[in-house]
Amino acid sequence: MTPAPRPDERSEAEPPDVPGFRTWRDVYLFVFGWFVLVVILLTVFTGIFS
Amino acid sequence: MNVADWVVLLGTIVGIAAYGSWRTRQVRSLNTYLRGNAATGWGTIGLSVMATQASAITFLSIPGQGFESGIGFVQNYFGLPLALIIVCAVFLPMYRRLNVYTAYEFLGQRFDKKTRLLGAGLFLLQRGLAAGVTIYAPAIIISTVLGWPLEFVIVFTGLLVIVYTVTGGSEAVALTHKWQMAVISAGMLTAMVVLLLRLPDGLGFTGAAHVAGALGKLQAVDFSLDPSRRYTVWTGVFGGLFLSLSYFGTDQSQVQRYIGGASLREGRLGLMFNAVLKIPMQFVILLLGALLFVFYQFAPHPVFFNQAEWRRHAQDGRFRAIEAQHASAVAQSESAIRLWLQARASDDAAREASARVAMVAASHRTREIRAEAKAVLVAADPRAKTTDSDYVFITFILTQLPHGAVGLLVAVMFAAALSSKASELAALGTTTTIDFWRHFRPLAAGDEARNMRAARRFTALWGVFAVAFALFAGFAENLIEAINILGSIFYGVLLGLFVVAFFLRRVGGSAVFFAAVTAQTLVIVMYFSLDIGYLWYNLIGCAACIAFSVALQAVLPPRARIDEGRAG
């Protein structure tokens, strides 16, 4: 009853269809950059209030 | 709670459960029951992933963590965005390409049946045990502060979630998650606004943040390399990465949330939604706890927040003396804080420094009295519950929020309990059906109606088991840590199985199976014999499984000879 594999599943090369991002790699880089920014902001926050 | 609170509470919680059951009562397809609606978009997937992770413990214990220990716990989530990127790039495309119902089916296709059963078994063991905790944790706190019978809260929560999860399966879970997250967001926003409005005149958010920071509650990041420190940037990034990778990549309660949906894109965007929002969300909840600490520097509060436990034992003069000392220390602390704020505004550095020393000393004295209170409690009854941080936020809700908002916030706790519980039950039922029941009844695999009946029965059975476990088991006091520790013991090895499957193509089923069993034994022995931060067990379990797999494969016959024809 487990369905057959999906041979037509959209591939890695398929664009994410998100404005400003051409590839999934761009999306991942954005998320990673956001994470780094959040850590920096938390470090600054710690510095200001501790 | 008055009538308005009851209307809000029952209207939201029972209303959402009834809506979920009614909307999905016609589900007849196994695919929809196990993976949700095939047209599900990224927003629903993202909220469902978030609601699954955000249990009631998140909203009860984490503000308490912020109150007691500050916001450093946020570092625990630093590995999460990185893990979600890996899940999006590696795990999710493979699950969708193979069109599996469970993550462990992938292990069967990559290795063999015994490795699939081992992976599914580790998941059922870990998640099945945690299922009791996730229903018990909010129930014990809510029943204590509201004075409701614990058994009633457990059974009410359990029955509600069983009804809609068994009725509509994964589709009902995703549908109710959206509305439960709406209730949770509205409730937490209300609590934060009320808290800021209740701060003393002229203090405001910035002043409160300075007080919290000066009293050591706002150290969000700690770059220390000391391995005995529980929360640092490094435990968060590395230990948290492995914990999150295991949880999001290999735990069926999460995998089931994103493998369905309209396309690979929707699943990926749903996960990226969480990668972006999770750390800020946890930061805000912890900050709420730190601001509660400041609020209670200016407001009368009990020496011990679990008042039911305190009153049960506070029979003699020692307790009255502690209460009087605490009231006096709180007044002195408030006075010292006000002096520090004045000194700070005066731009006199020397005055500010000495006022800060006095303020920290006064706060320290209050902390010492709270510790003494716990010691007196234990002296009165060695089995007394001495952790009261889980009761801080709920005490604030019940004593400071207006009616209607109290009902909303209690609804937040129930919504969070139901949302995580529903995902767990759906995942436990699905794994039991697909990886075990069908394994031992291969002839039934083609009968969709029979599969549906089995999935419903196993989901209901796990629900009943969780309720029974919550009713009859005793649990550790710090429940959020209890769940994380349990997860860390099993998740590392489970992740190791998947890392070998994805990245070490030469390793076969027998090597990885015996390596995983050995690694799991090693982790359990280490947990009972060493004193290290529990997040490291994720890394140790995973690394041990990988290393043992490679070593065993080197001495075993080549993979093709022993594993050929075993794929299941």
Averaged over B124-138, what is the pLDDT? Answer: 83
Q: Is the pLDDT of residue B430 over 60?
A: yes
Interface membership of B128 toward A (CB under 8 Å): no
pLDDT at B270: 95
Phi/psi for B220 (5° steps) reads -75, -35
Interface touch B82/A35, C-beta < 8 Å: yes
Interface touch A28/B85, C-beta < 8 Å: yes
Q: Is the pLDDT of residue B439 over 60?
A: yes
Taking the C-alpha atoms of residue B109 and residue B543, their distance in angstroms, rounded to an integer, is 23
Residue B565 — left, alpha, or beta (φ > 0 → left; ψ -120 to 50 → alpha)? left
Q: Across chain B, what does the average pLDDT equal? A: 88
Residues A10/B265, Cβ–Cβ less than 8 Å:
yes
Within 8 A by CB and 6+ apart from B21, the residues are B163, B164, B167, B168, B172
Interface touch B218/A28, C-beta < 8 Å: no
Q: How far is A30 from chain B (nearest CA, A)?
A: 9
pLDDT at B562: 46
Averaged over B557-561, what is the pLDDT? Answer: 60
Q: Is the pLDDT of residue B207 over 70?
A: yes
Would you state the structure tokens that stand for residue B87, as one six-digit string? 């899940």
Chain A residues touching B218 at Cβ < 8 A: 45-46, 49-50
Averaged over B412-429, what is the pLDDT? Answer: 92
Q: What is the pLDDT of residues A8-30, one digit of tens each?
A: 455 556 788 889 899 999 999 99
pLDDT at B568: 39
3-class DSSP assignment, residue B426: helix
pLDDT at B476: 53
Averaged over B45-59, what is the pLDDT? Answer: 89
Chain A residues touching B84 at Cβ < 8 A: 31
Query: What pLDDT band is residue B231 in, cutting at 50, 70 and 90?
Result: confident
pLDDT at A44: 94
pLDDT at B525: 92
Residues B455/B429, Cβ–Cβ less than 8 Å:
yes
3-class DSSP assignment, residue B513: helix
pLDDT at B567: 42
Closest Cα to residue B433, out of B166, B175, B248, B247? B166
* Minimum-distance CB partner of A50 among B105, B219, B445: B219
Residue of A nearest to B212 (CA): A49
Taking the C-alpha atoms of residue A40 and residue B270, their distance in angstroms, rounded to an integer, is 25
Q: Is the pLDDT of residue B146 over 70?
A: yes
ipTM for the assembly? 0.88
SS (H, E, C) B269-320: HHHHHHHHHHHHHHHHHHHHHHHHHHHCCCCCCCCCCCHHHHHHHCCCHHHH
Interface of A with B (CB under 8 A): 1-6, 9-10, 12, 14, 16-18, 24, 27-28, 31-32, 34-35, 38-39, 42-43, 45-46, 48-50
pLDDT at B380: 83
Would you state the structure tokens that stand for residue B311, as one six-digit string? 């009153």
Q: What is the pLDDT of residues B481-522, one digit of tens each?
A: 677 777 788 888 998 999 999 989 889 888 999 999 999 999
Query: What pLDDT band is residue B227 in, cutting at 50, 70 and 90?
Result: confident
Interface touch B283/A42, C-beta < 8 Å: yes
Taking the C-alpha atoms of residue B486 and residue B214, their distance in angstroms, rounded to an integer, is 35
Q: How far is B125 from chain A (nearest CA, A)?
A: 24
* More confidently predicted of B284 and B478: B284
Determine which of A27, A32, A49 to mutate to test the interface with B (most B C-beta atoms within 10 Å).
A49
DSSP of B483-511, one letter per residue?
HHHHHHHHHHHHHHHHHHHHH-TT--HHH
Taking the C-alpha atoms of residue A37 and residue B405, their distance in angstroms, rounded to an integer, is 35
pLDDT at B300: 87
Query: What pLDDT band is residue B564 in, cutting at 50, 70 and 90?
Result: very low
Q: Is the pLDDT of residue B86 over 50?
A: yes
pLDDT at A2: 53
Q: Is the pLDDT of residue A5 over 60?
A: no
What one-letter code names the amino acid at B308?
A
Q: What is the pLDDT of residues B374-409, one digit of tens each?
A: 888 888 888 777 788 888 998 999 899 999 999 999
pLDDT at B443: 76
pLDDT at B2: 84
DSSP of B180-219, one letter per residue?
HHHHHHHHHHHHHHHHHHHSPTTTHHHHHHHHHHHTT---
Give the least confident one: B92-101, B224-233, B302-311, B467-476: B467-476
Q: Is the pLDDT of residue B252 over 70?
A: yes
pLDDT at A3: 57
> Which H helix or E strand runs over B476?
none
User: Which residue's structure tokens are 């998650």?
Assistant: B177
